[in-house]
Amino acid sequence: MINNLLNHKSIRKYKPDEIPEHVLKQILEAGTRASTTGNMQVYSIVVSKKNIIREKLWEAHFKQKMVLEAPVVLTFCADFNRFNKWCHLRKAVPGYDNFLSFITAAIDAILAAQNVAIAAEANGMGICYLGTTTYNADSIIKILQLPKFVVPITTLVMGHPNEAPGLTDRLPLEAVVHNDVYCDYGTAEIDNFYREKENLEFTKELLKINNKETLAQIFTDLRYTKKNNETFSKSFLEVIRNQGFLHSADCI
């Protein structure tokens, strides 16, 4: 299992073969065994296999081809809808219309998603996370008919790989691990930790194509700009509010 984790690769090209139902069920069951706050399991997984739904999700995910190629698209949602209804039916008054509860459910959803990813790869499947889920959460809510207190958090496409990419570079372990307390980074540490990434041939080509001086500028000027971050932050916050969270006396 450790080798599977160390050899994880994001797969963006898929064969049209369907995932056997018993394999998919086992993978999803592995997701339900993930750690969860208070054993509440305040998340849901929407499994989309029909072409008509995946085509709509393809639009919402900025027309990434893998959404159409992969036979299964899994949307992981923060979900207090089910838990709230259970509370009401059992003479309990839920107090989960707030930011902390949203974060609790979002963490549950992400933990379940990672378990599913690990189980999928252990079964020979390929997966890729779609970070676009929160960008167009409002559209995904309509497509998947999500009720109040349900917010899409992340998405996995899953299927039989039709490519064999190399491993993506990662920062060295000492860049992300702190012993006992957080040790802030000086210039020398930053230079050392990012040196390999900045000197990859792929990085050099990327800088040339985009006419940029540094890799950091690729992120700040092109991939994740301040303008887009602020726009999507505003829209996602509105989604969270519209779905029933942030209705308590939150300091937001």
Q: Specify whether the CB–CB gap between 42 and 83 falls below 8 A.
A: yes
Residue type, 18: E
Provide the percentage of residues in the chain whose pLDDT is more than 90.
Answer: 95
Check residue 1 and give its pLDDT.
73
Check residue 248 and give its pLDDT.
54
Query: Does the pLDDT of residue 31 top 80, yes or no?
Result: yes
pTM (two decimals):
0.95
Q: Specify whether the CB–CB gap between 78 and 148 falls below 8 A.
A: no
Q: What is the mean pLDDT of residues 45-69?
A: 98
Quote the CA–CA distance of 133 and 76 in Å, as a whole number.
9
Check residue 209 and give its pLDDT.
97
What's CA 94's distance to the chain center, in Å?
27
Contacts of 84 (CB under 8 A, 6+ apart): 94, 96, 149
Provide the pLDDT confidence category of residue 2 given band limits of 50, 70 and 90. Answer: confident
Provide the pLDDT confidence category of residue 231 given band limits of 50, 70 and 90. Answer: very high
Check residue 203 and give its pLDDT.
97
Rounded to 5°, the CA angle 197-174-193 comes to 25
Query: Does the pLDDT of residue 138 top 60, yes or no?
Result: yes
